[in-house]
Amino acid sequence: MTTILTIQSHVAFGHVGNRAAVFPLERLGCETIAVNTVQFSNHTGYGAWTGTVFPPDHVAEILAGVAARGGLAGCDAVLTGYMGDAALGAVVLDAVVRVKGLNPRAVWCCDPVMGDVGRGFFVRPGIPEFFRDRAVPLADIITPNQFELEYLSGRVVEDLAGALEATAAVRALGPRLALVTSLARRDAPADRIEMLLDTPDGAWIVATPRLDLTPPANGAGDATAALFLAKLLETGSPAEALGHAASAIYAVFTATAAAGRRELQLIAAQEELVRPRRLFVPEKVR
């Protein structure tokens, strides 16, 4: 049984953070240890929300309790995402070091949630620098969107060559795998959205039709990172994990568009999290 420690935000209503990651992980057969960094009524994309950003001491206390039960010793991976406060970074790094000390084969999949194209940064001051300078160099896998890739690499991404230069730059910081969860480039058809995976053994791109989700659904990056990590741990194949993640999240988008809802329809599309009906095959580009 694969066990994943996931340290992310939590919302009561909707699907972002751990609420977007835990269910896909469990449907793909992973045991999860979910530690929440915030508890909000809903995601902040609504413009108004209630709730609390948990102080670092609280998160550290929860992790200490898990460790006391032997929970960290059985972890095969750590998955992290949105952080409400830069001070939480030290707690996350400590958890990763402890897990890897207990299981040297464990991997850290870091989703450097900072901002998005059109919105810019939406996190508190200090968080982008934490990801760039401390988290990314220690991570095994990173899953930035295009905006985050540009910030981490210091490059503007306009075409495939630029995207590959950017992923090579961020991998040079430390991670073995860089998965760009949303890529829009001028040398690709405008009616599709892509994911790009760069690894030491090559790079793959997978394209899916661009769906009209109005208003846009939040949490897709959180769910995609979880799907990719679970499938990678199951198969050991980065390209296969990429194809599965793209196919599964496309099924979720399709269900979300059909429902006319703002929140990701993870429950409605749950069978396709495991066995997507429409499969998208990655193309090797390097």
Alpha-carbon distance of 181 to 221, in angstroms, equals: 6
Q: Is 240 annotated as a binding residue?
A: no
**Contact 142/177 with Cβ under 8 angstroms?**
yes
Tokens for 228, please give them.
């990719």
The answer to whether 234 is a known ligand-binding residue is no
Per DSSP, the three-state class of 208 is strand
Confirm or deny that 237 is annotated as ligand binding. no
9 is annotated as contributing to ligand binding? yes
Contact 143, 179 (CB under 8 A): yes
Proportion of the chain in helix, strand, coil states, percent, rounded to 5? 40, 20, 35
Instruction: Give the three-class secondary structure for 51.
Output: strand
Amino acid occupying residue 262: R
Work out whether strand 141-142 and strand 107-110 pair parallel, antiparallel, or are unpaired.
parallel
Q: H-helix or E-strand containing 222?
A: helix 220-235
Question: Using N-to-C axis directions, what is the helix angle for 238-259 and 220-235, rounded to 10°?
Answer: 150
Q: What are the tokens at 207?
A: 């394209």
The H-or-E segment that residue 99 falls in is: helix 88-102
Where on the phi/psi map is residue 29: left (φ > 0), alpha (ψ -120 to 50), or beta?
Answer: left
CB 107 within 8 Å of CB 179: no
Binding-site annotation, residues for substrate: 9, 222
Binding-site annotation, residues: 9, 111, 148, 222
Binding-site annotation, residues for ATP: 111, 148
